[in-house]
Amino acid sequence: MRRVLFFIESLGQGGAEKILVDLCGHIDRSRFDVTLLVVSEGGAHWDAAARSGVRLRCLFTRAAAESAGLRGLWYRVRYHLLRRLPPRMAHLLFIRGRYDTEAAFAEGLATRLISRAGKRCRKLAWVHIDPIGDPHADFLFNSRVEQEEAYRRFDRVLCVSSGVRAAFENKFGPLPNLAVQYNPVDTESIRRRANESADPWNAAFSEVGGRLRMLCIARLVKAKGVDRLLRACARLRAEGHAFSLLILGEGPMRGELETIIEDGKLGDCVRLAGYLPNPYPALRGTDLYVCASYAEGFSTAATEALVLGKPICSTDCAGMREVLGDQPCGLLTENTEEGIYAGLRTLLSVPARVEELRAAALRRGKEFSLAARLDEIEQML
């Protein structure tokens, strides 16, 4: 049996975190002994990971992170060392254990440490984001050269879409170990969970009849573009278009977004509903899924919307053309606030267009295969 370690910094809300937990829940246990390692315990997907049956390890407990006094100081010292020690030394001190394969399932810290796993260990790195449009991982490396050298130490660097691969090569140049590996999508679970709880739309709005229901699932951070989506919606509302927008997710921009909603007089048609552990009833109830991101990889939420037969309106960011495939199941807009406004205005002005996209979305949603992607990943492991 092959011993496998997956390392990701946290199990907070996010597409990569959810994909990893789904992967761990379906991997062949007769062939792989899997450990899932995170920096700190807790997070939106922690309980699901614990239920998956894999070994779940954390470097730091929640109690240590929240402690005062000497215990809290020791936690902060160790956390600083984890990020700033030379990666080989940090790997020896913190990762521990012997594994046949070690996989960095996110950019940044995981990539930095796993790149220095032992020579006999097979090393894999996942790239879930456009590294140019979303360069959040760069600060963990001293230079772009150091980051590129880390990636060169892996047996495979797995980009989740061709768009991500193109952006990666544009930033770091072509690497011989670079490949495209699409994420597994658990379509059966999505459809089952869509019926597990009540539709949250009626809880968010007193009435939604006669209005186009739009849904956006995103962390409330700059890269997801929710602020420009709200500004576009304010313009549409001022023109008299009827719609409701439900936004699922949390993040540091909540206060700023609440101000945009207030200033744009969107209080009766837009809701920041927070993070929902099960977003699928909301997806089931929507008419249109909206992605306003500056950068994506292979959008998990957009894929899940298609599984439930919901058309997409998205900025033309990395991976989105591959999410839509060759089906006319969505509308791609320019990756600007003006593009988002123009795309939504088109769909709000011609409701029949949304119906046409819905039929294609149902067809596209049936094309995603959990079994095929799992088999590919298991071969990589």
Q: What is the DSSP string of 123-170?
A: EEEEE-S-TTT--GGGGGSS-HHHHHHHHHTSSEEEESSHHHHHHHHH
Confidence of residue 207 (pLDDT cuts 50, 70, 90): low
Flag whether pLDDT at 248 surpasses 90. Answer: yes
Amino acid identity of residue 235, one-letter, is R
Token pair in block for residue 71: 């215990």
335-341 long-range CB contacts below 8 Å, 24 or more apart? 335/294, 336/228, 337/228, 337/231, 337/232, 339/315, 340/225, 340/228, 340/229, 340/232, 340/290, 340/292, 340/315, 341/232, 341/235, 341/236
The owner of tokens 């007193």 is 206
Flag whether pLDDT at 300 surpasses 70. Answer: yes
pLDDT for 172 equals 94
The whole-number average pLDDT for the span 93-97 is 89
pLDDT for 217 equals 96
The whole-number average pLDDT for the span 18-24 is 93
DSSP state of 245: E
Flag whether pLDDT at 309 surpasses 80. Answer: yes
The whole-number average pLDDT for the span 352-375 is 90
The whole-number average pLDDT for the span 93-101 is 92
The whole-number average pLDDT for the span 243-253 is 95
DSSP state of 223: G
Beta strands in 261-349 (DSSP E): 270-274, 288-291, 312-315, 330-333
pLDDT digits (tens, 9 = 90+) for 130-166: 999 888 889 989 999 999 999 999 999 999 999 999 9
Amino acid identity of residue 148, one-letter, is E
Token pair in block for residue 316: 């033309």
Confidence of residue 372 (pLDDT cuts 50, 70, 90): confident
The owner of tokens 């940044």 is 108
Contact partners, residue 353, CB within 8 Å, separation at least 6: 346, 347
Flag whether pLDDT at 209 surpasses 70. Answer: no
Between strands 270-274 and 101-104, the pairing is unpaired
pLDDT digits (tens, 9 = 90+) for 23-77: 999 999 999 999 999 998 888 899 988 898 899 999 988 777 778 788 888 888 8
pTM score: 0.88
CA geometry: angle 373, 377, 381, nearest 5 deg: 170
Flag whether pLDDT at 97 surpasses 90. Answer: no
Contact partners, residue 376, CB within 8 Å, separation at least 6: 181
Summary mean pLDDT of the chain? 92
pLDDT for 77 equals 86
pLDDT for 134 equals 87
Q: How far is CA 52 from the centre of its chain?
A: 19
Give percent of the chain above pLDDT 90: 71
Flag whether pLDDT at 348 surpasses 70. Answer: yes
The whole-number average pLDDT for the span 101-108 is 96
| 149-153, 193-197, 202-206: which is most confident | 149-153
pLDDT for 325 equals 86
